[in-house]
Amino acid sequence: MSFFAILFALLVEQARPLAHGNWVHAAIRSWVRWVSRSLDTGRTPHAWLAWSVAVLVPALTGMAIYWALWQFSTVLAFVWNALVLYATLGFRQFSHHFTDIRDALDSGDEAKARQLLADWQQVRVDELPRSEFLRHVIEFSVLSAHRHVFGVLCVFSVLSALGLGPAGAIAYRISEFVARYWEYKAKTTHHPLSPALRQTAIQCWRLIDYVPSRATALGFAVVGSFEDAIECWRNHAQQFPVDNDGVILAATSGAVNVRLGGEAAAFKPHASQGDLAPDAEAGAEFTSQPTPGREPQMAHLAQIVGLVWRSVVLWLVLLALLTLARLLG
């Protein structure tokens, strides 16, 4: 049933994606803000409590609803899984940014493309060389694809097979948002959150994303240049300050033969927006040593699109085979 819920959610999300700043994101942001205001005392035990309330309470609630619906009808349980996946996958929530940037570059309007990336990720890119600008587009897009699609699919598939319904998808997306949002608030407010709270959120997110990030990297290797991707993964992933992101970016670099990593883009909060952009990515803003590969070019953007879509097909085929094996077994 998990495969059909994923397929249904992907098809609906492609046809009618959630709008920018949708009510789901607004509700999660309000919930996370309330938790931090109520439970952040600066002490480590309270930081763990705050993270648990922010992430685990919604996940367990989603699981409880799934179990309750399962008692009445498997169809209702399927619909609930599909609805949660529709809200958490977010393929189109990031892909339209990439498409708009690529279209602007194709039309020769590089200034517009740079502004689109700056608005999307809240970074300064107006003075970057063209190759560095393209590198940032690739890095942000690949990490977005992982966090909005492949990571969610991985955690949902595993926990759903264990009978936990959509709890994995909910926990994964909220954990990622909590780590990103609390770090953002520390940079932009006069009353930042405690270091204990931010560190706890980051540690938990990296732990949760450990296996999904490597599953994504392996998928990129399989559908790309496998030997080069694995070699780059083994030899250059440690050059990135964030281990999980480094694995994905190194595998991507080898899979399509593009140089990734280097100087970070400067952070630039929105002047007219007092909160974090819903799909701004944490992690790609750290300076790192570059990987080997060709200088980023326009052709690499098309290669990245192909890499992501082939990975989606790979995931769906694997899930379909596992579903078929369970049905026949």
pLDDT digits (tens, 9 = 90+) for 176-218: 999 999 988 877 766 678 899 999 999 999 999 999 999 999 9
Q: What is the pLDDT of residues 122-178, one digit of tens each?
A: 888 888 899 999 999 999 999 999 999 999 999 999 999 899 999 999 999 999 999
**Three-state SS at 294:** strand
The percent of the chain in helix, strand and coil, each rounded to the nearest 5, is 75, 0, 25
Q: What is the pLDDT of residues 223-237, one digit of tens each?
A: 999 999 999 999 999
Angle subtended by helix axes 91-106 and 110-121, to nearest 10: 160
Q: Where are the beta strands (DSSP E) in the chain?
A: 123-124, 266-267
Provide mean pLDDT across the span 263-277: 61
**What single DSSP character describes residue 266?**
E
- Measured on CA atoms in the order 6, 8, 13, 15, is the torsion positive or negative? positive
Note the pLDDT of residue 91: 81
- What is the overall mean pLDDT for the chain? 89
Residue 283: pLDDT above 70? Answer: no
Question: Rounded distance, CA 304 to CA 220, Å?
Answer: 10
Q: CA quadruple 320, 322, 327, 328: dihedral positive or negative?
A: positive
* Cβ atoms within 10 Å, residue 212: 22
- Compute the average pLDDT of residues 42-59: 96
Nearest to 139 by CA among 276, 250, 277: 250
pLDDT at residue 190 in the model? 62
The model's pTM is 0.92
DSSP, collapsed to helix, strand or coil, labels residue 318 as helix
